[in-house]
Structure 1
Amino acid sequence: MENASYVTLTRQSGLMREMETIAHNIANAATTGFRQQGLVFSEYIQALDGSDSLSMAAARVKKTSTAQGVLTQTGNALDFAIEGSGYFQLETPDGLRLTRSGAFNMDATGDIVNSDGYRVLDSGGAPINVPAGGGDVSVAPDGTVSLGDRLLGQLGIVEPEVGADLERESGVLFKTEAAVAPSEDGKILQGHLEGSNVDAISQLTRMIEVQRAYEMGQKLLDMDHERSKTALQTLIK
């Protein structure tokens, strides 16, 4: 295959990956705590024998947007939104996971959990248990959880170290291999939820641009195929 065709195929593959990412973003535009993702295109150069080097671009890295989603008041005592930076910590069978989705409830034992039943952790990495019959839970902006005059713990709001990668594990759960530290500016809003931070209009616009670029690349591949076919037929004659 000629170098030009190889470069075009590599570009087409990256455009397809970006299209999939955009479609996933748009599908979750109404998902509580969802974080928009984009692709980072990186250039890499390959040396060629007897000719100039070959420069190609590939979409290899996903970047998660940290933009604040819209905060909506729900009035539910176990709905929490983070205003500012940071993530809630969840205890899962696969280890610590981070999320911005604060639609929580209590399980049969009184532990605060998310919709999947994963326990929400305090600033020390322990679950938060609410004794039965004590009334409504109160949570201060710093995450302090109280039941009447009784202190139950403090919701852990953390963020990975600067430059660390967040890997999306499911729609609103992330994992990171980096160390996490308490958020410096994140505060809790009780009775609120943070919506998706997807910018649907810009994503739809980008989808159209990517589709047009893909169609143009496909035309170039078709033209190159016809040239190769014509050349082969000429040689056979």
Structure 2
Amino acid sequence: MDTMIYTALSRQSGLKSELDIIANNLANASTTGFRAESLVFSEYVSQQSRTRDSVSMTDIGARIIDSSQGALRQTGGTLDIAIEGEGYFQLAGAEGVLLTRAGSFASNENGELVSLEGRQVLDEGGAPIFIPPNARDISVASDGTLSADGAPLSVVGVVAPINATAMARVGATAFAPNGPVEIVEGATLHQGFLETSNVNPLEEVARMIEVQRRYESVKSFADREHDRIKSVIDTLGR
């Protein structure tokens, strides 16, 4: 097959991956704590030589998580917590520590603060947070200090990965950091609020239309190149 066909196919594969990302963003435009994702493409050159042709193909360089702030929606829930600023809550799971911006929490039968999926919410030191079963007044200060009936219990951990590009999505709203994390200074926590998705549906629809047009353009090129090769083969075979 001609190298131009390989090049076109690599581009189509990349555009399809980008369409999948956009579709997932749109599907989660109303998901609490969801962070939009995008792709960064790079060029892969198979060889460089003055005497031989090189082959240049499209490659996915990185997946980028949009860190822009989502709007805060007031819920009034005692254990609903939103982060204003950088950072993520820490969750314990079978996969290890996970990060999330979805702060809809609850207290399970063991008194542990957990996410909607049942994962333990961790404090600054990476330990589970316990709430006394007989506590009447639960409060969360702006610095993350969680108190029960006026007595401080723990500090809700807010961390960020040192290498943000290494993060991998786990489900809709959680991420595996795939590397060390550090405590975030300056983040503000809001009790009784949740952060909405930071997806901009209008921008995503515009991106989808643009990517679809590029995909169709590459397909048209590949079809013409296929017809050209077929025509050459037919001519030589006569």
- Structure 1: how far apart are the matches of 2:12 and 2:64? 20
After TM superposition, the score normalised by the length of structure 2 is: 0.96
Alignment of 1:38 with 2:38, yes or no, is: yes
Contact 1:119 1:127 in 2 (8 A): yes
State the partner residue of 1:165.
166
Alignment-mate amino acid for residue 8 of structure 2: T
- Structure 1: how far apart are the matches of 2:237 and 2:91? 66
State the partner residue of 1:65.
66
- Structure 2: how far apart are the matches of 1:100 and 1:218? 39
Contact 1:164 1:178 in 2 (8 A): no
Alignment of 1:134 with 2:156, yes or no, is: no
Alignment-mate amino acid for residue 205 of structure 2: L
Contact 1:80 1:193 in 2 (8 A): yes
- Structure 1: how far apart are the matches of 2:73 and 2:181? 27
Q: 5 Å matches for 1:1-237?
A: 1-47=1-47, 50-162=51-163, 164-237=165-238
Q: Deviations over 1:44-96 (max 9, x none)?
A: 21216733323222224211010000101100010000000010000112211
Q: Deviations over 1:167-191 (max 9, x none)?
A: 1111111011221111122111000
Aligned residues: 237
- Structure 1: how far apart are the matches of 2:136 and 2:98? 29
Q: Deviations over 1:124-178 (max 9, x none)?
A: 1111111112203100000000011211101001111155521111111101122
Contact 2:41 2:60 in 1 (8 A): yes
Extract structure 1 runs of 4+ deviating beyond 2 A: 48-57
- Structure 2: how far apart are the matches of 1:9 and 1:125? 45
- Structure 1: how far apart are the matches of 2:47 and 2:148? 66
- Structure 2: how far apart are the matches of 1:121 and 1:220? 53
Alignment gaps of 5+ in structure 1: none
3-state SS of paired residue (2:82): strand
Contact 2:31 2:196 in 1 (8 A): yes
- Structure 2: how far apart are the matches of 1:139 and 1:69? 20
- Structure 1: how far apart are the matches of 2:219 and 2:201? 27
Moved more, 56-65 or 3-12: 56-65
- Structure 2: how far apart are the matches of 1:7 and 1:134? 63
Contact 1:89 1:158 in 2 (8 A): yes
Name the % identity: 43
Alignment gaps of 5+ in structure 2: none
Contact 1:121 1:155 in 2 (8 A): yes
Moved more, 55-64 or 201-210: 55-64
- Structure 2: how far apart are the matches of 1:143 and 1:90? 15
Alignment-mate amino acid for residue 16 of structure 1: K
- Structure 1: how far apart are the matches of 2:57 and 2:230? 25
Contact 2:37 2:64 in 1 (8 A): yes
Alignment-mate amino acid for residue 223 of structure 1: R
Contact 2:163 2:179 in 1 (8 A): no
After TM superposition, the score normalised by the length of structure 1 is: 0.96
